[in-house]
Amino acid sequence: MTFDWNDQRTLDAQYYGFSKIQHALYGIFLWELVNSLEFDLALVTTKRLESASSLYARLVYLSCRYLTLAALTSIAIGSTPTSRLKIDCKAWMICTLALSFAAVTSASTLIAIRAIAIFNRRKSVIVAFALVLTAQLASFVYEVSRADATESPANETCIFLNTETNRLNVTATFVTDTFLLVSMLFGLLRWKDARRKRGIWDVLWRQGIMWLSLATLAELPSVVFIWLNLNQVMNVIFFTPELIILIIGATRMYRALWAHDTTAYDLNSVSMSEDRSMAFRRASCQRVQLPFSRPEQQAIS
């Protein structure tokens, strides 16, 4: 006897469980956000001369966190019975997709900034990364143009329709992050200090391996289930966990690297010697001491 994934009773039960999971995941991210809020406040209020690239990385980091907060808030609203909140489900869906994509793209951009610094700002690398991120954006625009949503009569919550149209965007995101992370690791292998795993290079190397593993773990289930196309719920069941895992991983690694060296995201601080060793020059101003929990630093860095 085969299991009917599209049986209405099965779908109603899955929609109900899905909405409860979204609220639980929202709580997990709120805990993460509050737990490291002191770092964000110090990052915003610190007065320190820095290059445009370092400032850009700081803004991308903050975008990762607070766009994710906005996306999860939107998801939680859509997962609340619409009898309490009268909302347009299609408008809600477009807003949720836009916020989620912006958050995921911010995480990808953090990888790209780090990789560009490792490649010593090579124009070919910058162009390649820009093309990959542009392709990812194009897949998102296509997804939004095909997406739809409606209200579930059984649970009175907004539900996605035509979720199989997400295949292109989900696959493109997985390919983009894998390409950026593999490129970063390849760039590290080019430098003698990185191969010796000394100082900041040891942190970069270990974080690169961890980041690649994390991206694969978070994104692969979404890719597999969207291509299996079992039903509308199972197609998106891993989307929110993927978003949270990617953002928490990316932002924790940013904080760990900042705690090790505040110039790590400054493209102008990178110097290369003739023996293919590479170093980050220390900023002439005083290093900023930002609050950071020791257990988190040890776990991530």
Q: How many domains does the chain have?
A: 1
Please say whether the beta carbons of 151 and 82 come within 8 A: yes
Q: What percent of the chain has pLDDT over 70?
A: 78
**Closest-CA residue to 240 (of 14, 18, 11):** 18
Report if residue 220 sits inside a domain.
yes
CATH of the domain at 204: 1.20.1070
Rounded Cα distance between 125 and 93, Å, is 35
pLDDT of residue 75: 92
Report if residue 242 sits inside a domain.
yes
pLDDT bucket at 256, cuts 50 / 70 / 90: confident
Report if residue 1 sits inside a domain.
no
Report if residue 276 sits inside a domain.
no
Q: What percent of the chain has pLDDT over 90?
A: 37
Please say whether the beta carbons of 237 and 20 come within 8 A: no
Task: Using the predicted structure, report yes or no on whether residue 237 has a pLDDT greater than 50.
Answer: yes
Lowest mean pLDDT segment, chosen from 47-56, 96-105, 197-206, 291-300: 291-300
Between 203 and 143, whose confidence is greater? 143
Task: Using the predicted structure, report yes or no on whether residue 205 has a pLDDT greater than 60.
Answer: yes
